[in-house]
Amino acid sequence: LSSKTMSKLIEHLKKEYDYVILDTPPVQAVTDSQILSTKVDGTILVVRADKTKKDGIHNSINLLKKVNANIIGTVLNGVNTSRNKYYYYYGEK
């Protein structure tokens, strides 16, 4: 992932496409996220509702910050919409 070939591939993809999305394993599991975050314009952290612990989120953010990752947002995945009417109605519109 940290090879010149990978860097060239990412640069080529950036020139060819408006958006390039790279999906990596969890930040704390392996270093893939940290390595790739240095080669991209932005990083989006995906967290699972009722599964991902706050400490894990903070640790992941800190690991990404150590490599100067540009964290541009978060996706909350696996939300149980039946527990919250706001999400239910939002999804129905």
Give which of 9, 41, 48 is closest to 26, Cα–Cα: 48
Supply the CATH classification number for the domain 4-92. 3.40.50.300
**What pLDDT, on a 0 to 100 scale, did the predictor assign at position 82?**
75
In angstroms, the CA 39 to CA 54 distance is: 27
**How far from each other are the two terminal CA atoms of the chain, in whole angstroms?**
41
In angstroms, the CA 11 to CA 16 distance is: 9
**What pLDDT, on a 0 to 100 scale, did the predictor assign at position 57?**
93
**What pLDDT, on a 0 to 100 scale, did the predictor assign at position 90?**
54
Per domain, the residue ranges of the chain are 4-92
Which residue type sits at 28?
Q
Residuewise pLDDT in 10s, the chain (93 residues):
889 999 999 999 999 999 999 999 889 889 999 999 999 999 999 999 989 999 999 999 999 999 999 999 999 999 887 766 665 555 555
**What pLDDT, on a 0 to 100 scale, did the predictor assign at position 46?**
93
Cβ–Cβ contacts within 10 Å for residue 57, how many? 14
Max Cα distance, the chain (Å): 49
**What pLDDT, on a 0 to 100 scale, did the predictor assign at position 2?**
82
